[in-house]
Structure 1
């Protein structure tokens, strides 16, 4: 197991380095003037020269890349051109919204998908199974931002139960903050819950048809105990892999959902930085999102090994 962890950590570090190099090359080295992109083609030459000097574009690309990576390792992400604030400060403020939003969406998605998938497989071709299949098909077909707009129209505008957008801040209390995050989290969770429900149903059906399950039933183990002790633990192995892949979609989907609900999270910061051509912020945020995906995949690999003893024995 330790060998597996060490191998995955080495792979994680190499992948992060490769991603950071790709981001740097695309934004600062490939043909095009980063200063002109940020200020626009109508900017004066002396203004462009001053920004190039401020960004260090007069220095070799390798030096700039090493300084950027070194600064990240020390917690220095640079200074935003638009906000005139350290990017680390901006990111920390926005992560305080994006991380709870994504975690709440993950919790809602998992809490919906696992029971529905198992129930549909246990009652195959019955009313429950057909209803679950309809839910999963609708969830896959409908994008999360459209679900968010419907939620705003119904629960905020018509019923007035939830705020239509914005975030009161954690200092205002947990309940108001939770109410502001609940609709966005559900809108973010439903499409992924639909996918996870289908995967859970398929994995459960596959395990139900296995020989060891039929043997357990032949020995007199009742249906519910068989599901709880034998079917669900084995069905969770492929489900864990899909859930890990979905975690990146939760953080990526937050960009659209945060803009629909006007939440000042990391996704909205990325959208604003892109609109304002703040390449310094864009570069750091893209690396952060990529880092989250890579770290999540690492944790999924470890979780997969914990669930599947065969992988531990190989390592």
Structure 2
């Protein structure tokens, strides 16, 4: 098992290096002048030359890459040209919104998907199963930003239960901050909950047909106890991998949802930086997103092998 963990960590490092190279090549090496992209084609040559010098674009690409990676490892992400402040400060401020939003969305998605998926499998082809299948079809078909707009119209503008947008900050109290995250978290969670519900239902049905479940029922164990002790624990093993993969969808969906609800998170920062052609911020934000997804999937992969005794025995 120790060798397995070392192998996964080595694979994590290689993947992070490959991703960083791809980001650097796309934004700084491929044909095109990054300075001209940021300032526009109408900028004067002396202004472009000054920006190239400020960003180190007059240095060799290999030197620029190692300078950037060294800065990332030490927390020095450079200076934003648009905001005129360190990118690390920008990301830290915005991360305090995106991280709670993503965690809340993951929790809601899991709390909805697990009972619905198990119930649909336990009462297969009954009204519960049909209702769950309708929910999953609607959840997959409806985009999260459209859900966000509907929630604003109903729960913010109509019923006035939650704020329509904005974020008061954690300094204003945990209650108002969480209230501002409820609607965007639900809008972010429901489409992924629909996907996860289908996975849970399929995994539960597969376990229900296993020999050890039939043996447990033959020994007189009740259906409820069989589900609780044998079916659900084994069905959750493949679900853990899907939860890790869904993190990338939560981050991607956060870009749209944060803009719909005007939340000052990483997704909105990426969108604003793209509009303002601030390549310094874009490069770092994309690397942060990619790094988080890769790290979480590595942790999930190791956890999956720890949970499954069959894979653990092979390690």
Is TM > 0.5 for Structure 1 vs Structure 2?
yes
**What's 1:140 paired with?**
140
Partner of 1:120 in structure 2? 120
The answer (yes or no) to whether the contact 1:166–1:261 under 8 Å persists in 2 is yes
1:18 maps to which residue? 18
Residue equivalent to 1:178: 178
1:278 aligns with 2:293: no
Q: Deviations over 1:41-100 (max 9, x none)?
A: 011111101000101111100000000000111110010010110000000000000000
Which whole-Å CA distance do the structure 2 matches of 1:239 and 1:5 have between them?
21
CA distance in 1, matches of 2:2, 2:177: 41
Instruction: Give the 3-state SS of the residue equivalent to 1:155 in structure 2.
Output: helix
Q: Residue 85 of structure 1 aligns with which residue?
A: 85
Equivalence for 1:225: 225
Give the Cα–Cα distance (whole angstroms) in 2 for the partners of residues 58 and 34 of structure 1: 11
Alignment correspondent of 2:240: 240
Give 2:294's aligned residue: 294
Whether the 8 Å CA contact 1:248–1:296 is kept in 2: the answer is: no
Q: Does 1:214 align with 2:214?
A: yes
Are 1:166 and 1:262, in contact at CA under 8 Å, matched by a contact in 2?
Answer: yes
The residue aligned with 1:254 is 254
Per the alignment, residue 7 of structure 1 pairs with: 7
Q: Give unpaired runs (5+ residues) of structure 1.
A: none
Farther-moved stretch of structure 1 (3-12 vs 303-312): 303-312
- The Cα shift of 1:247 comes to 1.3
1:25-174, aligned counterparts within 5 Å? 25-174=25-174
Shift in Å at residue 231 of structure 1?
0.4
Cα offset, 1:300, TM superposition: 1.0
The alignment's TM-score, normalised by the length of structure 2, stands at: 0.99
CA distance in structure 1 between the aligned counterparts of 2:243 and 2:75, rounded to whole angstroms: 30
Partner of 1:43: helix, strand, or coil?
A: coil
Q: In 2, are the aligned partners of 1:36 and 1:48 still within 8 Å (CA)?
A: yes
Give ranges in structure 2 of 5+ residues lacking alignment: none
CA–CA distance in structure 2, aligned partners of residues 227 and 307 of structure 1: 18
Shift of 1:4: 1.1
